[in-house]
Amino acid sequence: PLDTPTAHFVQIHREDLAAVQAELTAGLKQTPPRVAPKFFYDALGSRLFDAITELAEYYPTRTEAAIFREHGAAMAQQVPTGAVLVDLGAGSCAKAAGLFPVLRPGAYVAVDISVDYLRETMSELRQRHRAIPMLGLGMDFSAELALPPAATDWLARHDLSTAPVCVFYPGSSIGNFAPAEALTLLRQAHAVCAAGGPGGGILIGVDRVKDKAILEPAYDDPLGVTAAFNRNLLLHTNALLGTDFAPARWQHVAFFNEAVSRIEMHLQSDGAQTVRWPGGERHFADGERVHTENSYKWQPADFDALLREAGFGPSTHWSDTRGWFSVFFAPA
C-alpha cells in the first residue's frame, strides 16, 4: 500500500504481524532460544543504536566515517554520478547523506525495517536535499532482498530505470549474517545492481578480525548502553507478541567467539523464570541464555572472495591505518 499520493514512502509487510509472531514464537521455543537481531530496531532500539555509535568503545561507525572522509573521492571514482543509491538498513540515513556531495546520486532509496523511524528521518532529509528524488521502503530484507514493484515503478516514473544502481550497505551490518546467509544476501544485492544500467555495484562496510581486547568492550560498554539495546529487544518482543519479559531479570552477555569469528550477544536469565504470551509459555532455567545477535568479523581476502562468489567483479577496499575496518566496492 502506498501511503501518500506521491508514493514517496512505501511500507511493506508491516501488516504481517501474524508472521512476525510465528517467527518470534518459533525462536523462543528453540533450544537454545533465540530472537533475531532485526527485532532490536523498534523506534527506541534505533535510537539506542545511534547512542551506541557515540560510545568511545564502539569503534566501527567512527572508523568507517573516517574511511569515507579520507577515501570518499576515490570511492566516487568507482560509482558513477547519477546512480540510484539503495541504502540497506538506512536508519538515520546519516551515512548516505554524508556521501551525497561526493557520490552525487541521481536518486536515493532508503530501506529499513524500522518504518516509523525511517519515515521521520527521511522527511527531514528531503527538506535538506530537495534535488534528489527519495523513496523510503519500510521492509525486512533479511529474508529476501529485492526491490518491490512499487519501487521499480517509482524509478520508471523518475526516468531512472536504466540508471546504474549502487547498493550501499555500510556499518558492517553484513556481520549479522553467517557466511552462507551473507552469500545469499549478497547474491540478491548483485541482482538488484545488475537490474540497473552499467556501472553499478556494491559499496559495503566490513568489520575486521582483531584482538578481543578491542572487540569485546565495543559490545559491552561500561555505561550499559549496549546492555539497554540488547534488553530493549525484550520490550519490543513484548509489544509484538504479548510476552511478559521483565528486562531487569535478564543480563547482557557479549563475547568474541574466536572459532567462528563472531561477537555473540545473549540475554541471560537471572534466576529461573517462566515467560508467558497469548497461546504459549517457556520456562527458563537460571543462567539460560537467549541468543540475540551474531556480529561476524572478516579478513579482507575472505570478504573479497565472498563478493566474487556472489557474482561481483574484483573488489577494491579502503581501510583505516589500524586495519580495523574496511569499505569495499565491487562492480556488479
Residues of the shown chain interacting with ligand AVJ in the complex, contacts defined by CB under 6 A: 52, 60, 171-173, 175-176, 219, 226, 293, 295
Please state the closest distance from residue 114 (CB atom) to ligand AVJ, in A: 12
* 243 vs 295 by CB, closer to ligand AVJ: 295
Reference 136, options 234, 330, 3; nearest CA is 3
- In Å, the largest CA–CA distance within the chain is 60
Q: Closest separation between CB of residue 267 and ligand AVJ, Å?
A: 12
Q: How far is the CB of 14 from ligand AVJ (least distance, A)?
A: 21
CB nearer to ligand AVJ: give 21 or 294. Answer: 294
**Beta carbon nearer to ligand AVJ, 226 or 261:** 226
Nearest Cα to 24, choosing from 243, 170, 231, 197? 243
CB-nearer residue toward ligand AVJ: 151 or 203: 203
CA-wise closest residue to 290 among 31, 41, 23: 31
CB of 1 to ligand AVJ, least distance (A): 28
- What residue number has its CB nearest to ligand AVJ? 295
- When the beta carbons of 60 and 80 are compared against ligand AVJ, the nearer one is 60
- The nearest distance, CB 30 to ligand AVJ, in angstroms, is 21
Yes or no: say if 289 and 254 are a contact pair by the CB < 8 Å rule. Answer: no
User: Cα angle vertex 306, ends 102, 170, to 5°?
Assistant: 30
Q: How far is the CB of 208 from ligand AVJ (least distance, A)?
A: 12
C-alpha torsion 178→254→213→48, nearest 10 = 90
Pairing of β 262-269 and β 197-207 = unpaired
Cα separation, 45 vs 47, whole angstroms: 5
Which CB, 25 or 142, lies closer to ligand AVJ?
Answer: 142
Residues 6+ apart with CB under 8 A from 220: 226, 227, 252, 254
What string of DSSP letters covers 97-150? Answer: HHHHHHH--SEEEEEES-HHHHHHHHHHHHHH-TTS-EEEEE---SS-----HH
CB nearer to ligand AVJ: pick between 60 and 331: 60
Q: Cβ–Cβ contacts within 10 Å for residue 103, how many?
A: 24
Helices 94-103 and 59-76 meet at what angle, rounded to 10?
A: 20
φ, ψ of residue 142 in degrees (nearest 5): -70, -30
CB of 293 to ligand AVJ, least distance (A): 6
For the bound state, the minimum distance from the C-beta of residue 295 to ligand AVJ, rounded and expressed in Å, comes to 3
Q: Which is nearer to ligand AVJ, 8 or 210 (CB)?
A: 210
